[in-house]
Amino acid sequence: MELTTPLTYVKGVGPARAAMLQAKGLVTAEDLLGYVPFRYEDRSNMKTIAQLAPGEMATVIAEVLVAKLSGFKRKNLGLFEVRFSDASRAILVGKWFHGGYLANVFGERMRVALYGKVEFDSYAGELTMLHPEFEILSGDDDDGESSLHVGRVVPIYEGVSKITARMLRVLTHRILESLPPEDDYLPQYVLDRLKLPDRWTAIRHTHFPPPDSDLRLLNAFRSPAQFRLIFEEFFWLECGVALKRAKARLLPGIAFEINDRVREQVRAMLPFKPTEAQKRVIKEIAEDMKAPRPMNRLLQGDVGSGKTIVAAEAAVIAIENGYQVAVLAPTEILAAQHAFYFKQILSKLGYVTLLLTGSFTPREKAQLKKLVSEGLAQVAIGTHALLEKDVEFKRLGLAIVDEQHRFGVLQRLGLVQKGVHPDVLVMTATPIPRTLAMTLYGDLDVSVIDQLPPGRKPIVTKHTTDDRIEQVYSFLKKQIDEGRQAYVVYPVIEESETQAMKAAEKMYEHLSREVFPTLSVGLMHGRLGAGEKEAAMQRFKEGQIQILVSTTVIEVGVDVPNASVMLIEQAERFGLAQLHQLRGRVGRGAAQSYCILVTEKMNDAARHRIRTLVESTDGFHIAEMDLKLRGPGEFFGTKQSGLPSLRVANILRDSEVLEIARREAVDFIARPPSEENLLRAVAYIRDHWQRRYGLVTVG
Site residues (CB under 6 A) for ligand ADP? Answer: 272-275, 278, 301, 303-309, 429, 453, 559, 561, 588
**Residue closer to ligand ADP (CB basis): 556 or 695:** 556
Q: Is 206 helix (H, G, I), strand (E, B) or coil?
A: helix
Given the complex with ligand ADP, which of 74 and 273 has the nearer CB atom?
Answer: 273
CB of 304 to Mg ion, least distance (A): 8
CB of 569 to ligand ADP, least distance (A): 23
Distance of alpha carbon 580 from alpha carbon 1, whole angstroms: 53
Least spacing, CB of residue 559 vs ligand ADP, in Å: 4
Q: Residue 206 and residue 33: Cα distance in Å, rounded? A: 9
Rounded to a whole number of angstroms, the minimum distance from the CB of residue 556 to Mg ion is 7
**Closer to ligand ADP by Cβ: residue 321 or 593:** 593
Query: If contact means CB under 5 to 8 A according to the sort of partner, which of Mg ion, ligand ADP, none does residue 301 touch?
Result: ligand ADP
- Are 113 and 137 in contact by the 8 Å Cβ rule? The answer is yes
Q: Which does 128 bind (CB under 5 to 8 A by kind): ligand ADP, Mg ion, none?
A: none
By rule CB under 5 A, what string of x and - marks binding of each residue 495-524 to Mg ion? Answer: ------------------------------
Closest to ligand ADP by CB, 308 vs 378, is: 308
Region binding Mg ion by CB under 5 A among candidate stretches 85-93, 312-320, 533-541, 556-564: 556-564
List the one residue out of 627, 579, 632, 629 whose CA is nearest residue 605. 629
> How many residues does this entry show for the chain?
699
Of the two residues 308 and 552, which places its CB atom closer to ligand ADP in the complex? 308
621: how many CB neighbours lie within 10 A of its CB? 15
The entry of ligand ADP, Mg ion, none near residue 159 (CB within 5 to 8 angstroms by kind) is: none
The CA distance from 106 to 65, in Å, is 10
Residue number closest to Mg ion, CB atom:
557
- Find out whether 321 and 397 touch, Cβ atoms under 8 Å: yes
- In the bound state with Mg ion, the residue whose beta carbon lies nearer, of 110 and 432, is 432
Least distance CB 277 / Mg ion (angstroms): 15
Q: How far is the CB of 272 from ligand ADP (least distance, A)?
A: 4
Q: Shortest Cβ distance from residue 543 to ligand ADP (Å)?
A: 15
Cα–Cα dist 94/88, whole Å: 17
Distance CA 619, CA 432 (A): 9
Q: Report the residue number, 382 or 557, with the smaller CB distance to Mg ion.
A: 557
Terminal C-alpha separation, the chain: 29
Q: Report, in Å, the least distance between residue 307 CB and Mg ion.
A: 5
Choose among ligand ADP, Mg ion, none what residue 588 binds, the Cβ cut-off being 5 to 8 Å by kind: ligand ADP
Q: How far apart are CA 604 and CA 625, in angstroms?
A: 14
Three-class SS state of 659: helix
Q: Edge-to-edge strand order for the sheet containing 445-449? A: 353-356, 379-382, 324-328, 396-401, 423-428, 296-301, 445-449
557 binds Mg ion, rule: CB under 5 A: yes
**Contact of 83 with 91, CB cutoff 8 Å:** yes
Nearer to ligand ADP, 300 or 321 (CB): 300
Is 530 within 8 Å of 360 (Cβ atoms)? yes
Q: Which is nearer to ligand ADP, 242 or 595 (CB)?
A: 595
Residue closer to ligand ADP by CB (options 114, 449) is: 449
Taking the complex as a whole, how short is the minimal distance between the CB of residue 542 and ligand ADP, in angstroms? 15
State the Cα–Cα distance between residues 193 and 526, nearest whole angstrom: 56
Q: Is residue 587 a contact point for Mg ion (CB under 5 A)? A: no
**Binds 522, which of ligand ADP, Mg ion, none (CB < 5 to 8 A, cut-off by type)?**
none
Return d(Cα 531, Cα 523) in angstroms, integer: 14
Cβ of 163: how many Cβ atoms within 10 Å? 19
Q: 463-489: string of b/e by CB count within 10 Å (b at 16+)?
A: beeeeeeeebeebbbebbeeebbbbbb
Query: Nearest residue to ligand ADP, using CB?
Result: 306
For the CB of residue 308, give the shortest distance to ligand ADP in the complex, in Å: 3
Q: Residues in contact with Mg ion, total (CB under 5 A)?
A: 1
Contact 301, 449 (CB under 8 A): yes
Please choose, out of 82-90, 322-330, 494-502, 549-557, the segment that lies near Mg ion by the rule CB under 5 A.
Answer: 549-557
> Cα dist. 405→33, 298, 329, 629 in Å?
33, 11, 11, 18
d(CA 667, CA 660): 11
Q: Are 48 and 87 in contact (CB under 8 A)?
A: yes
Shortest distance in whole angstroms from residue 225 CB to Mg ion: 46
Closer to ligand ADP at the Cβ: 214 or 276?
Answer: 276
Answer yes or no: are the C-beta atoms of 316 and 266 closer than 8 Å: yes
- Closer CB to ligand ADP, 429 or 571, in the complex: 429
User: Per CB under 5 A, does 433 bind Mg ion?
Assistant: no
d(CA 545, CA 537): 9
Q: How far apart are CA 390 and CA 510, in angstroms?
A: 45
Least separation in angstroms between CB 431 and ligand ADP: 12
Stretch that binds Mg ion, among 42-50, 76-84, 551-559, 671-679 (CB under 5 A): 551-559
Residues forming the site for Mg ion (CB under 5 A): 557
